Every structure is written in structure tokens, then in C-alpha cells.
Structure 1
């Protein structure tokens, strides 16, 4: 019983090399209430079939510093490799001085990992994050903490990490007026 303007479109007058698009309709993601793959609701945006996440345990030494203060030190970090991004190193909470992390308001959403909570460390804004309730597919990083090497000092086996150009993650808010309660309920 509801009508949405400009929610779908169809190409007309296609060249012969695009025959497979003949008679097909595309939908405007933001104009619709929800999308599904089979019986599961897709949150945020459609998954990229070529996007990959691999998670590995390691015994390398990871240390996080803010000035002279050691924020975290572990010999059991977990590394998350995600297509197109620098490796992200996650630290168990037991190996972090939690009092140095100040929770901040606002969360971002990743359709591959879930909702991220952020922490300031001293003057460094949003210098760390955690997927407190990570999706089951990436559950190994659930409730671990990762640190931004361009906001605090992160050392792996004594060598300071730096993000390469183009590897900075741009956090996105919850998409299509999707509230955090709705994301958590799925």
C-alpha cells in the first residue's frame, strides 16, 4: 500500500553487448526498506562476492603506546586481513590497560563484521575500536580491541606500524536509516 518514487529503473535501448540486461530491473538500495538474500536480511549494503576476510592467530609481540604509557602488550594478537585494507591487529582485553580507553558515543556499522564501538586514548580521538558482538563469521575478533596506528603508536615485534596510502578505513554510519537496535536484532 505504499509507493516510493525512483525506487527502480530499467535500461532501454541497450547496445547488443549488453543483451543480458534486457528486461531486467535494478533497485535503488536506499529507497527501499530492506533487501534479502534468500531468507536473510542484508544489512548495510550488499556483500561483495570478491571481498574476503581472513583471521589468524599469531604469537608475535604487539605493543600499543600513547607517549610513555603502554596501553596494551600481548604475545597473542589476532590479525584480520580484509580485502583492500592494511592488516588489523586485535588484542585480547586481558592484555590492555582498560582504564586508558575512554568509550565514546557513536557507532559505525560494517556489513561483514557488525557494529563497532570506539575509544579515545588520551587526546587521540577514536584511536581504538571493538566489535563487542561481532558477527559469527568473524567471531574470533569479537570483543577484542584494535588500534589505529596513525593515532597511537603500534609496534609489531618492535617495528612501528604505519598505514599505507589508501588503506585508511572510512567509517560509515548505519545505512538507510537503519537503527543500531535493528542491526543488533539480526
Structure 2
């Protein structure tokens, strides 16, 4: 494992290296917008974000605020903290993305705030925004973090970061 050089946060920023492990779930009233297939499929100020060491935040929105077709997708994963995750495919406008959404049907104790909420892989959407800022997706094809100018890394997900 290589030595990780933490980026010092500037004013108004937070370092993902200050996030806890196990992760913390916190409510946010930042406006979250998600676009897919040329349509706005989420526009809400009722979200939670999961903050975990070395990861950019993952935003979860209420499932009933997703204005798109969501259907079960194959596959599952397990988080040692949050529990068993399931996947959904999403379709809106002229676009469909298989397995681009995930949720925890029965979140583990301490993560009940994730019940009835879903998260998306930002790289698989047209765009995702936090408080008007378009996010950059977290590197890799497993994690779904949302990178904005408010968070600094380095971030897990890129090649060579598995052991972090």
C-alpha cells in the first residue's frame, strides 16, 4: 500500500480523510438534481449523505422522489456496515441504465435513515448536482461517490487504491 497524502481542506471544504469509519449518515437540505435521458428525474432538498473515510459523499434520495422507471436488476452486494444492497435499473427519456441505482431493503442498525432511499452512480447519469454544482463521479466502477469542490481527497476508487 502506498502512502496516502491527504489534501488539506481550504475554507468551506472538508477532507474525506476526516470522515469516520464506520460511515456516518447525515441529512442535508442541499438541492440534489439528477438528470437522465434528457429529463430531470430527481429534484429534492430531502436527501441524506453517507460519509466514509477516503470516499466522497454518496447521496441518497427518497425513492418516491425519483421520477423515472425503476425496476429490479440482477446482482447484490454487501457492506459490512450498511448491510445487503440490491440494484435497480432506471429509465427516463431516451435512456436506460441497468443496475445504476442501489438501495438497502433492510439497512443495518445505525443506518435506518437509508430505508426507502436510493443512490445512483453519477457516472451513469446525464448529470448529478449538489447545490447547483455538477458533480464529478468517483473513479472506478464500484463506488458511487459524488465529488464537488467542497470535498478534497485523495479519493478511493482509482487503480491502486483498493488497499486504502
If the TM-score is normalised by the length of the shorter chain, which range does it land in?
Answer: 0.5 to 0.7
Q: Is the 8 A contact 1:85 1:168 kept in 2?
A: no
**CA distance change for structure 1 residues 85 and 108 in 2, over 3 Å: closer, same or farther?**
same
> Where do 5+ consecutive residues of structure 2 fail to align?
1-19, 145-164
1:136 aligns with 2:109: yes
Alpha-carbon separation, structure 1, partners of 2:24 and 2:141: 17
Q: Is the 8 A contact 1:133 1:143 kept in 2?
A: no
Q: Deviations over 1:83-130 (max 9, x none)?
A: 221100000123112x52121122111111111111112332221111
Give TM-score scaled by structure 2 length.
0.66
How many residues get paired? 120
Equivalent in 104, 119, 125 of residue 146 of structure 1: 119
Give TM-score scaled by structure 1 length.
0.58
Alpha-carbon separation, structure 2, partners of 1:164 and 1:94: 25
Equivalent in 132, 145, 161 of residue 135 of structure 2: 161
> Where do 5+ consecutive residues of structure 1 fail to align?
1-49, 171-186
Which has more strand, going by share of residues? 2
**CA distance change for structure 1 residues 143 and 126 in 2, over 3 Å: closer, same or farther?**
same
Alpha-carbon separation, structure 1, partners of 2:139 and 2:118: 23
Hey, which bits of structure 1, 4+ residues long, moved more than 4 A?
none
Q: Deviations over 1:7-60 (max 9, x none)?
A: xxxxxxxxxxxxxxxxxxxxxxxxxxxxxxxxxxxxxxxxxxx73311111111
The 5-angstrom pairing of residues 32-181 of structure 1 reads 51-97=21-67, 99-122=68-91, 123-152=96-125, 153-165=127-139, 168-169=142-143
**Structure with larger Rg:** 1
**CA distance change for structure 1 residues 125 and 166 in 2, over 3 Å: closer, same or farther?**
closer
Q: Which has the higher contact order (CA 8 A, sep 6+)?
A: 2
Alpha-carbon separation, structure 1, partners of 2:84 and 2:102: 10
Q: Is the 8 A contact 2:42 2:66 kept in 1?
A: yes
The CA deviation at 1:168 is 4.9
Which has more helix, going by share of residues? 1
Alpha-carbon separation, structure 2, partners of 1:67 and 1:159: 19
Over the aligned positions, Cα root-mean-square deviation in angstroms equals: 2.1
